[in-house]
Amino acid sequence: MPEDSRTTTIQEVKGASHKSCMIKWQKRWENSSTGRTFYEFFPSVEQKRHLDDPDKATYGVILQLQTGYSILNAHRIRVGINASPLCECGALESTEHYLLECCIHEAHRGELLKALHKLCGVTVLDIKTLLNTDDHPYIPGWRETITSELSKYIKATGRFMKKQPVSDKPRSDIHN
């Protein structure tokens, strides 16, 4: 027997251990009864792990938008926080509203569409394009580019940087 085939390197052990761990994790993930909304976007834990890459704060916001539990007002009321579900513009502040509709973020949304059209051939913004994890069958790096451009939009709008939404502050105007 050649020397090479009898020798197990540390890399091989680490690789096998990692693979075994990932399989277990994937099974637990598939069988888990919690996080179903999240699972729809992340059927593979390998995909989920990519979110450990740089800019955790913004990726965290993307995860919140995917799961429907964020500081957006329509989400806050869902988790029992007694606040108005409305956006400052007056419409229900849902994920769709924040990403696709709100007039407050219109300029940033225009920039997002412009960039995605140029880089990824996207002509219309929709939730699946922005928040799903599917890659493009022909364009390499398509999903990473969309996530990167979406991150820029999230940062540019500043919506998730506010420490306390207006609706949480005492409303002095409604006491009389």
- Phi, psi for 54 (deg, rounded to 5): -50, 165
Q: Given the complex with Zn ion, which of 102 and 150 has the nearer CB atom? A: 102
Interacting span for Zn ion (CB under 5 A) from 33-41, 65-73, 80-88, 130-138: 80-88
Based on the shown chain and the rule CB under 5 A, indicate whether residue 166 belongs to the binding site for Zn ion.
no
CA 17 to centroid of chain Cα atoms: 29
Q: Given the complex with Zn ion, which of 22 and 86 has the nearer CB atom? A: 86
- Round to whole Å and give the CA distance between 121 and 135: 13
Residue 19's identity, in one-letter code, is K
Say if residues 97 and 91 touch (Cβ distance below 8 Å).
yes
Say if residues 86 and 93 touch (Cβ distance below 8 Å).
yes
Q: Given the complex with Zn ion, which of 21 and 89 has the nearer CB atom? A: 89
Minimum distance, C-beta of residue 105 to Zn ion, in the bound complex (Å): 7
List the interface residues with Zn ion, window 87-116 (CB under 5 A).
87, 89, 102
Q: What residue ranges bind Zn ion (CB under 5 A)? A: 87, 89, 102
